[in-house]
Each structure stands twice: as structure tokens, then as C-alpha cells.
Amino acid sequence: MPKSSRPNFLLFITDQHRADFLGCYGHPVLRTPHIDSIAARGTAFDRFYVASPVCMPNRSSLMTGRMPSVHGVRSNGIPLSMNAVTFVDLLRDAGYDTALIGKSHLQNFTSWAPIIKRPPPREGFHEPSRGLTQALRHDLADAKYEQETPEYWNAKDARVRTPFYGFDHVTLVRAHGDEPGGDYDRWLEERDPKAKNLLGPNNSLPHSYTVPQAYRTAIPEELYATAFLGDRASHWLDEEAGDEPFFLMVSFPDPHHPFNPPGKYWDMYKPEQFPAPEAFSRNDWTPPALVANIIKERETGKANLTGMNTIGVSARESQEARALTCGMIACVDDAIGRVLAALDRSGKRGDTVVIFTSDHGDHLGDHRLMLKGAEQYQSIVRVPFIWADPQAGQKPKRTEALASTMDIGATVLERAKIEPSSGMQAKSFMSALDGKAARDSVFIQYDHQHASPGTDVPPRVHSLIDERYRLSVFQGTGWGELYDLKNDPGEFDNLWNDSAHAAARARMTEKLLLTELEHIDRVPLPTRRA
């Protein structure tokens, strides 16, 4: 296909953002006019799922079109190998200008030591040399995998070295809240050298919220990270997008904890506008073991309220988290509006596929939980997705076709008429826009270094979701879950041990086994027959 006839792509991706917390999906309180405008021009997917409900694995699946167990980023804490071929590499190879503005999180962005470590050698045993201690030689300790860490950005002239996983231009934020770091720090210094004294919880404004990790940032909305990303993405479209087709990813670190929407967005929504989640009013729900352990951990004062893992919450805390999350989403929506205005100014709107999605969700009080973890409820595995192609003709405004985050790259490549790399496991969902299902199920993998509450086992959970059921199998605990999403959309009745659903469990288990076989790696391709 001639370069001039290839479409541009503008991908907006937010972070901890549930599908049901978006105006175009019918949220009764939240209003997102600019995201709604994307949906009005395209198709919203009602059943779009992550490959993993946590940042690094899912973002790596987005980039590679491969499952976490295959691309190697099974959990947070493992950088994506630069030997991995991404769909952005393929776009760049075909002549596209490629740019990332915002959060990458394909590499570690903390200094925290890993939890899972190689055990010390047994007495009298020889310890292999450093390059031989793992079954696969790798260079993940090399400095090129440190480009999102705070230490790397301590250097005055720090920049992401490009090409970076296929991106020729990178403007980076490397964390969350009002201390996102990366290129944001220099931008902030240029606009107001004194503004750095407003950053962080120690400089926050007083407030009356009780939900953990809520603080009212003193940074004004026009200097907040979301505004920075809207500004830089608009600038790229105004000044740097040339005559070549482009792929621009604008990646917002919000909505995410800490819950700190800036300025007017802090009290744009009130907790009282949000009803308490269903779990707080039901007296017929017995939480599964993992959830019960998390709730007990909070009730006994043992929960880490400042971390990243799932915690139990009260009804009031869930309402507060929802109000503040909607403030962050509204802030993102306004930034998206500025970027879309720049796209219109460029004259390229009619040639640009605009995509909106999110990395994963947040429980936000569902099942009396907040944040995300090994629980595979819809609140964290189902995310919003909109595909708006101005040249596609009449397409459905909504579809219930199943699709996955890892399918995005394959679909972009098909739309650009670029062949995928061998070993890409994704399936283009272009056919779903014409009413033909591309998938009959989605596969989700979750790994984490930190043991689940009540166990000493680092969680490994594999799930399969089809048109009706969600099956999840937990390694090392004996736990299993089966939910009928048609009759129990809130996922309160675990049918795993229900004899009346034994046939459904057996069918889903067999299907999961076949899916596991399907996703065993098929590369490298053979070089001979024998």
C-alpha cells in the first residue's frame, strides 16, 4: 500500500480505568464529552478484556501481541526485552512516524528490590557464573532497561534513548500522582520554577476524605501531569507530525491511586452521587477465600494501605474513591479534547483512526475491595475500548464481540496492511466491526511476586472468559472460580463446586487447557526439518 494512502493512528490509553466508568458506556454520573465524541464516530466494545490486569504484563502484551507467559513479562518487575518485536517496530519499518507521549511502563520505574530471588547455593555446591544462573541468557540488568527508574532521571540531561520499542519520539512520565517524573519535571521547571514545592503528599492541601491514598494536590490543574501530556501531544501534532503516516500513543498515568485530581477536578463529583457497591447491601454473599483474606487483613489492621495491592474498603471509602476517580477521568477527558483539537488543526482527522482504551481496572469498592490483584473480577479485567475509523463507513455503535488488549496491535497492522511478525498470538478484530466474531473466548494471565493474603504462595492465576462464563484457576492454593456472567453479572455466586454446573466447569476447563496449548510459543521458526 502506498504510504500516502495508509491511515494515521492516534491511541489514547488511560491506566486504572474500568469500562463501566466511562460516559459513553452509560455511566449515570460521569460525563466525558470528548471521549464520547470518539465513540460517536466509531464502535465501542462492551466486552473488551486485558491480557493481564496489571501494568507491565498487559502493556507488553499490547506492544507484542503475545501473552505474558510468552513475551516474558509475567508480572510487574520484569522489563520487556528489547529483543521483542513490537507492532510499533513493524509500523516504523513500514515508514510510519512513531511517538509515545506519557507512561510507558515497559521497564521498571521504582528502586524497590524484587521479592522473588534466586536462593543461595547449597553448602558444597558450585554456583554457576552470573550469566548461567537462569535457564535463559538475558541482558535485563543492562543500563538500557533502567530508562524509567528515578536514578536514570536524576541526570540533568536524561532522555529516553530511541528507538524505544519502536518509538522514534518519546516524552515520558514514569510514575503516578503529582510526582510523575521523567520529562514532566523539566516542563514544570520551565513553566514555574517554584511549582516543584507544591508536589507530593507532604505539600498537599487539607481535605476531609478518609479513603486510603487520597490527598489533595497543591499543583494547579494547568500544571498537573495530565495537562502536560495534553500539551505535549498537541505540540507533536502541531509541530512534529510530518508527511509520513504516524502512530501516536498518548498514555495517561491517571486514573490511578493516589487519588489526587487537581484543582476543580477534586470536588467535581461528590461521594454521595455514587451508590455503595452491591456487596455492601447483600447478606447472601460468601466471599471466596482470597477476598475473605483481603477483607480480614484490613479489618485486623494488617493491610498495607500505601501499596499497590488489593485492600479491603468500607462503603464510604468506595464512594470517595469513585468520586475522585471520576475527577481524574474528567481531567483526562479535557486533555483528550485538546489533543483532538490539534488533530483537527492538522487537517488529518479524516485520515486518522482514533482509539481509546485503558490498561486495566480498579475494584473501586466492588466486592468490598479497592485497587487490583489476583482477584479476576470484571471490575479489573474488563476495560473500555473504542475504535473510530473515519474511512470505515457505517459500523455498529456498540458490539459485544470478545476482544483483548493484545489484539490492538494486530488490528492496527491489518488496517495499515502490514503483515504481522511470526509468533504474534493476537487476533485482529476488524471482522467484529462487520458483525463476525474474531474470538470465542479471551485468555487472561496474572502473576505477582507478593504472596496472596492468607497464603505463602505468590499468585499465579489463569482465566478464560467466553460468551457466558468466567473460569479462573489458581496455582498452589486449590482455589477455583466459575461465574455465570449472564445470570450473575456481579460475580457473587461461585459455581466451582456446584454439582449442577459440573458440566460447564468441565467444558471451560477443557477449553482453558486447549487455550494454554494454543499459546505455547511457535517461534523461532524451524531452520531445517531435522
**Cβ atoms of residues 319 and 370 within 8 Å:** no
Rounded mean pLDDT, 319-335: 98
Asked if omega into 163 is within 30° of 0 (cis), the reply is: yes
pLDDT at 529 exceeding the cut of 80: yes
Distance (Å, whole) CA 245 – CA 4: 7
Which of 111-115, 171-175, 203-207, 216-220 is predicted least confidently?
111-115
pLDDT score recorded for residue 121 = 95
Rounded mean pLDDT, 33-55: 97
Distance (Å, whole) CA 202 – CA 266: 17
Rounded mean pLDDT, 45-67: 98
Quick: pLDDT tens for 234-268. 999 999 998 999 999 999 999 999 999 999 999 99
Residue 4 cell numbers, joined: 500516502
Measured in residues, the chain has a length of 530
Whose cell is 516542563? That residue is: 187
Kindly tell me the burial class for residue 186, based on how many C-beta atoms sit within 10 Å of its own C-beta (0-12, 13-18, 19 or more): middle
**Cβ atoms of residues 28 and 346 within 8 Å:** no
Q: What is the percent of the chain with per-residue pLDDT over 90, rounded to a whole number?
A: 94
| Nearest of 413, 325, 415 to residue 364 by alpha carbon | 325
Angle at 421 between CA 171 and CA 136, to 5 degrees: 80
Distance (Å, whole) CA 38 – CA 446: 31
What is the band of 111 on the pLDDT scale with cuts at 50, 70, 90?
Answer: confident
pLDDT at 271 exceeding the cut of 70: yes
Q: For the chain, what is the radius of gyration of the CA atoms? A: 23
Compute φ and ψ for 369, nearest 5 degrees.
-125, 160
pLDDT score recorded for residue 3 = 54
Quick: pLDDT tens for 292-324. 999 999 999 999 999 999 999 999 999 999 999
Mean per-residue pLDDT of the chain: 96
pLDDT at 329 exceeding the cut of 70: yes
Task: Annotate 141-204 with DSSP letters as a single string.
Answer: TSGGG-TTSTTGGGSTT----SSBTTBSEEEEE-SSTT---THHHHHHHHH-TTGGGG-SGGGP
pLDDT score recorded for residue 459 = 95
Angle at 410 between CA 408 and CA 413, to 5 degrees: 110
Q: Is 110 helix (H, G, I), strand (E, B) or coil?
A: coil
Task: Annotate 326-374 with DSSP letters as a single string.
Answer: HHHHHHHHHHHHHHHHHHHHHT-GGGEEEEEEEEE---TTGGGEESBSS
What is the band of 38 on the pLDDT scale with cuts at 50, 70, 90?
Answer: very high
C-alpha distances in Å from residue 333, one per residue of 178, 326, 336: 18, 10, 5
C-alpha distances in Å from residue 25, one per residue of 236, 380, 486: 30, 16, 18
Rounded mean pLDDT, 38-44: 97
Distance (Å, whole) CA 495 – CA 14: 33
Rounded mean pLDDT, 64-89: 97
Residue 44 cell numbers, joined: 465501542
Rounded mean pLDDT, 200-207: 96
pLDDT at 91 exceeding the cut of 90: yes
pLDDT at 283 exceeding the cut of 60: yes
Distance (Å, whole) CA 419 – CA 440: 23
Distance (Å, whole) CA 102 – CA 236: 12
pLDDT score recorded for residue 434 = 86
Distance (Å, whole) CA 85 – CA 418: 14
Would the pTM of this model clear 0.95, i.e. be above it?
Answer: yes
What is the band of 437 on the pLDDT scale with cuts at 50, 70, 90?
Answer: confident
Backbone CA torsion sign across 259, 263, 264, 267: positive
| Nearest of 435, 430, 409, 429 to residue 420 by alpha carbon | 409
pLDDT score recorded for residue 28 = 95
